[in-house]
Amino acid sequence: MKRISIVGTGSYLPEKILSNYDIEKFLDTSDEWIYTRTGIKQRRIAENGLATSDLCKVACERAMEMAGVKAENIDLIVLATITPDTHCPAGANWLEAKLKCKNAVSFDITAACTGFIFALHVAVHLIKSGANKTALVVAGEIMSRVVNWKERESCILWGDGAGACVITDSKDGAEILSTHIHTDGENGDTLLMPGGGSKTTPISHESVDRGLHYLKMIEANKSFKVAVNRFAEACEEAVRFNNVKMEDIDLIVPHQANLRIIQGMAKKLNFPMEKVYLTIEKYGNISSATVPIALDEAVRDGTIKKGNLVLLTAFGGGLTWGSSLIRW
């Protein structure tokens, strides 16, 4: 079997910071209320004029620089996003053009917060099949433009940013030991954007006035319990598949949905929080982009060391969940 490796990582966060104290100025809430329920202190917000592909471009360039590959070396771009520049053409097509990756085929993956792991899964198997050689796996979101900033329970969660990695068939780099993805379409209505699709076509003043084009979270308590269980199941599947134990894992890099969900996952796995990498306090929930952003940060700050077993895990709307085990 081919050894598929991560040979470079990169990320980009917009410069603008929106703190809980800033939100206090226009919502009936407080820093304490937000932080105790979510673990979030601030989030990044993309400036007007920037599109998701712009954030992804910087993240990809940084990953390519670390990997030592040029645009012409990339033959596959898989972009995970629920906030593409446009629904047609795909966000990945815009990104391909901006990166000048003329030898690449590009397409989007829509799997909400699990999107990066879904994109990684697809790219790994395309390279294993021989269809492609070197891929950019990227996730980017501008969540600040799809939430209702009058809905206190939801808008406080989200932020903007992008993360990426270069993967290829190589004996060098971090070996991707396995990827695992799952869906449950029957329970996909707990996190959804009701408008904008064929179900509500054509888009009308009425659909906009009713707020159907904002991301909505329904039955948050139910989602919390399901998320904890799915997070844990995905981790257990990855270690079981690779014939290792949870105590062998050096670091878990989870989707940064909510601090209490992450703590619940760690408790269920009997895994120490000291070995769980967190970015939620400073970046919030960036949907599909949280995992690659946290992964890149952990690589660059030295948290991840050569030989470490690193476990990625995520849960999101769809419902979707998944994991990946990597030997650094």
Distances (CA, A) of 212 to 103, 148, 154, 193, 215: 39, 10, 14, 7, 8
> Is 229 one of the catalytic residues?
no
> Is 125 one of the catalytic residues?
no
Cα(4)–Cα(128) distance, integer angstroms? 7
Cα(279)–Cα(283) distance, integer angstroms? 6
Catalytic residue among 60, 113, 165, 235: 113
Cα(99)–Cα(222) distance, integer angstroms? 41
Match 């079997």 to its residue by tokens.
1
On whether the CB atoms of residues 200 and 212 are closer than 8 A, the answer is yes
Half-sphere exposure of 276 (CA within 13 A, CB side): 25
Residue 147, token pair as written in the block: 């939430």
Cα(89)–Cα(60) distance, integer angstroms? 19
> Is 258 one of the catalytic residues?
no
On whether the CB atoms of residues 80 and 142 are closer than 8 A, the answer is no
Catalytic residue among 20, 60, 235, 255: 255
Catalytic residue among 20, 93, 258, 285: 285
For residue 191, the cross-strand partners are 217
Enumerate the active-site residues. Answer: 113, 255, 285
